[in-house]
């Protein structure tokens, strides 16, 4: 575990080394004290602080502060510079990147009371996590976002239906984030198969396409599901807690 105050106070020599062939996934809780929230907020840039005041709802605002603050702190650990000096930008399709070190890849997601941030030094990546929860429009969302083959799998076991929905959702979302498309490519134009020990990509825009992407499901607790999409085979994935 890495503690916020230690990261802010100490040199980055004690920060976990991110080696080639590794992928770090950091779990960050948004269920924190007001004092901890201030620590995150104090790392933000002037532009980010202006955005804080634009949020209508407190929960969404605080979650955004934690995600941006944690990203700055973690990038500072990898880069060896203070959090406030960290610079990020967006590529042509909107995918975030490190201006200080474009070879340090990262992506993040948040749901419920959890933020996950993934880092790699040698592969593009995408991450998505979802809190498993009831959805009033579940039937409509299944029809709108999944292929007939995927729908058969989701509906295969009624007791697992909502979990299977979120598993497929995180697979598609993490893939779209990895390729830099976000939601510009409709999820129902992608097809995947969840098999016993793996995830298999079947088609993009209705055309069979086996790309060089790898998929790894993960979970931080029983009520969360997540997926990592990354390009490098034989990658070692390490889950870390940032508290």
Domain boundaries, the chain: 4-128+233-242, 130-223
State how far the Cα of 23 lies from the Cα of 6, in Å rounded to an integer.
22
For domain 130-223, give its CATH number from 3.40.50.1370, 3.30.10.20, 1.20.120.790, 3.90.470.20.
Answer: 3.90.470.20
Q: Are 205 and 189 in contact (CB under 8 A)?
A: yes
Residue 209's nearest CA partner among 232, 235, 175 is: 175
| pLDDT at res. 1 | 61
Q: Where are the alpha helices (DSSP H) in the chain?
A: 4-9, 34-41, 46-52, 58-79, 138-145, 148-154, 161-178
Structure tokens at 44: 């933000």
End-to-end CA distance of the chain: 7
Residues of the chain with pLDDT under 70: 1-13, 182-185, 205-211
Residue 63's nearest CA partner among 127, 111, 131 is: 111
Rg over CA atoms, the chain = 18
State how far the Cα of 129 lies from the Cα of 67, in Å rounded to an integer.
13
Q: Are 112 and 208 in contact (CB under 8 A)?
A: no
Q: Are 172 and 180 in contact (CB under 8 A)?
A: no
Do 4-128+233-242 and 130-223 come out as alike in CATH topology?
A: yes
| pLDDT at res. 201 | 81
pLDDT digits (tens, 9 = 90+) for 122-142: 999 999 999 999 999 999 999
pLDDT digits (tens, 9 = 90+) for 189-211: 888 989 877 888 877 766 556 56
Q: Which residues contact 230 (CB under 8 A, 6 or more apart)?
A: 23, 120, 123, 124, 125, 126, 178, 213, 214, 216
State pTM to two decimals: 0.91
At 173, give phi and psi (nearest 5°): -65, -45
| pLDDT at res. 178 | 93
CATH of domain 4-128+233-242: 3.90.470.20
State how far the Cα of 32 lies from the Cα of 69, in Å rounded to an integer.
13
């Amino acid at each position: 575990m890495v503690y916020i105050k230690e990261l802010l106070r100490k040199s980055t020599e004690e920060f976990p080394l991110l080696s080639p062939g590794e992928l770090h996934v950091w779990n960050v809780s948004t269920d924190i004290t007001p004092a901890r929230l201030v620590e995150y907020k104090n790392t933000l840039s002037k532009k980010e602080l202006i955005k804080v005041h634009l949020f209508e709802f407190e929960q969404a605002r605080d979650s955004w502060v934690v995600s941006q603050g944690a990203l700055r702190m973690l990038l500072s650990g990898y880069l060896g510079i203070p959090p406030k000096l960290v610079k990020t930008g967006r590529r042509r399709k909107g995918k975030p990147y490190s201006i200080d070190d474009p070879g340090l890849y990262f992506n993040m997601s948040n749901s419920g009371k959890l933020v996950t941030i993934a880092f790699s030094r040698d592969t593009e990546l995408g991450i998505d996590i979802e809190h498993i929860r009831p959805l009033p429009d579940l039937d409509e969302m299944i029809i709108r976002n999944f292929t007939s083959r995927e729908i058969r799998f989701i509906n295969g076991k009624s007791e697992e239906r909502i979990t299977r929905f979120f598993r497929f959702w995180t697979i598609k979302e993490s893939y779209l984030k990895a390729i830099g498309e976000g939601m510009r490519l409709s999820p129902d134009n992608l097809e995947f198969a969840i098999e016993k020990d793996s995830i298999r990509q079947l088609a993009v825009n209705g055309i069979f396409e086996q790309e060089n992407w790898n998929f790894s499901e993960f979970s931080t607790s029983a009520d969360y599901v997540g997926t990592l999409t990354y390009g490098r085979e034989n990658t070692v994935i390490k889950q870390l807690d940032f508290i």
